[in-house]
């Protein structure tokens, strides 16, 4: 079982020709209501790839009976650890894209504010299970990692909420660290380190850095290598990083080598960017492997 802990979000994406000036209006040319949140994204990807996935998060009463809830159930995601907060609203992300490729984002936390004081759930945790911390409140993640050590940790955009002590505490219980270039730079700066190899002074076993169109790098205590990104019909990058991390974990639990995990994850991520939304175009394991094998051949 892969337990994905973090946010579940209703994504609202609007495309417009140009951003309005202050006190003026700009018409929206294209509008999408989609499913998001790093934990929700990761859970669905894991499940689609054949892994058992359980979502650990908080949602509002508006989530009950929603299309998102039905979508999660349809894709086999376990919702036992999804808490519905009475009287609350599920988090929402509002993203506005102009024709020049620029983006403005607004985030409504809603019941996600519950993370900081929430008790860590009692999981039916087995020797082959792993917790994937996808974004989220630092205090919650630190307590979660302490209770279930050996986590997969993706700081995501919440990296800015971490102080030095926070980062040290969570890395003491992290097995796999996944992040992008910006997040890695932030981590090293927080810890006063010069390179990612110094992170192995913690119990971290593997560091994966995603670099968008430039692929990814994978480093453990014995080796370091890079894997190129797949060519794709680019539409929207939303959720590609979440999908990569979920696919990497899924492949790892299937017993694949680190290099094969990275290649499979890159294949999965290439599907995600070919449609609007993080959960719109998730491949099955068979589809991801077929695309990978075509590339190898």
Q: How far apart are CA 33 and CA 215, in angstroms?
A: 29
Mean of the pLDDT values across residues 252-280?
96
Query: From the CB of residue 295, how many other CB atoms can be counted at a distance below 10 Å?
Result: 14
- DSSP lists the bridge partners of residue 177 as 153, 207
Q: What is the mean pLDDT of the chain?
A: 94
Q: In what order do the strands lie in the sheet with 9-16?
A: 28-36, 9-16, 92-97, 103-108
Q: What is the pLDDT of residue 100?
A: 81
Q: In this structure, which topology does domain 2-20+29-296 adopt according to CATH?
A: 3.40.1190
Q: What is the pLDDT of residue 213?
A: 87
Q: Judge contact between 134 and 6, C-beta under 8 A.
A: yes
Listed residue (196, 208, 210, 204) closest to 239, CA to CA: 210
Q: What is the pLDDT of residue 154?
A: 97
Mean of the pLDDT values across residues 257-261?
98
Q: Where does the pLDDT of residue 98 fall: very low under 50, low under 70, confident under 90, or very high at 90 and above?
A: confident
Whether 296 shows a pLDDT value over 80: the answer reads no
| In the chain, where the domains are located | 2-20+29-296
Q: What is the pLDDT of residue 58?
A: 95
Mean of the pLDDT values across residues 5-11?
95
The per-residue pLDDT for range 46-97, each reduced to its tens digit, is 999 999 999 999 999 999 999 999 999 999 999 999 999 999 999 999 989 8
Q: CA torsion angle for 64, 68, 72, 73 (degrees, to 10)?
A: 50
- Report the Cα 215 to chain-centroid distance in Å: 17
Place of tokens 């140009």: 18
242 has catalytic annotation: yes
Mean of the pLDDT values across residues 90-114?
89
**Containing H/E element for 133?**
strand 130-134
Q: What is the pLDDT of residue 282?
A: 98
| Residue 88 to residues 39, 58, 124, 139, 158, Cα–Cα distance (Å) | 19, 10, 27, 21, 22
What percent of the chain lies above the pLDDT cut of 70?
A: 100
Q: At what angle do helices 38-48 and 240-253 cross, to 10 degrees?
A: 40
Q: What is the pLDDT of residue 150?
A: 96
Q: What is the pLDDT of residue 75?
A: 97
Q: Look up the pTM and report it.
A: 0.93
| DSSP 8-class letter at 78 | B
Place of tokens 């519905």: 84
The per-residue pLDDT for range 144-203, each reduced to its tens digit, is 999 999 999 999 989 999 999 999 999 999 999 999 999 999 999 999 999 999 999 999
Q: What is the pLDDT of residue 188?
A: 98
Q: What is the pLDDT of residue 214?
A: 92
Q: What is the pLDDT of residue 297?
A: 61
Spot the catalytic one: 154, 158, 236, 242. 242
Q: How far apart are CA 263 and CA 282, in angstroms?
A: 16
């Amino acid at each position: 079982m892969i337990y994905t802990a973090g946010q579940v979000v209703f994504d609202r994406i609007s495309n417009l020709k140009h951003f309005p000036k202050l006190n003026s209006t700009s018409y929206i040319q294209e509008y999408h209501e989609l499913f998001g949140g790093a934990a929700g994204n990761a859970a669905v990807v894991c499940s689609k790839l054949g892994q058992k996935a359980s979502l650990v998060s908080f949602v509002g009463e508006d989530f009950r009976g929603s299309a998102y809830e039905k979508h999660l159930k349809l894709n086999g995601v376990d919702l036992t650890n999804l808490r519905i907060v009475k009287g609350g609203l599920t988090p929402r992300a509002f993203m506005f894209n102009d024709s020049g490729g620029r983006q403005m984002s607004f985030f409504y936390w809603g019941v996600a504010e519950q993370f900081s004081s929430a008790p860590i759930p009692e999981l039916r945790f087995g020797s082959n299970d792993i917790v994937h911390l996808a974004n989220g409140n630092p205090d919650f993640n630190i307590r979660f990692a302490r209770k279930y050590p050996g986590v997969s940790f993706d700081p995501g955009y919440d990296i800015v909420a971490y102080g030095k002590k926070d980062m040290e505490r969570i890395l003491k219980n992290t097995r796999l660290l996944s992040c992008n270039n910006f997040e890695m730079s932030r981590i090293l700066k927080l810890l006063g380190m010069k390179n990612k190899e110094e992170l192995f002074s913690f119990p971290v076993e593997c560091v994966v850095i995603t670099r968008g169109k430039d692929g990814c790098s994978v480093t453990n205590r014995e080796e370091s290598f890079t894997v190129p990104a797949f060519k794709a019909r680019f539409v929207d990058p939303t959720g590609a990083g979440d999908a990569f991390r979920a696919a990497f974990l899924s492949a790892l639990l299937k017993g694949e080598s680190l290099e094969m995990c990275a290649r499979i994850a890159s294949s999965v991520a290439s599907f995600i960017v070919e449609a609007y939304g993080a959960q719109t175009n998730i491949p099955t394991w068979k589809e991801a492997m077929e695309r990978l094998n075509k590339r190898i051949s």
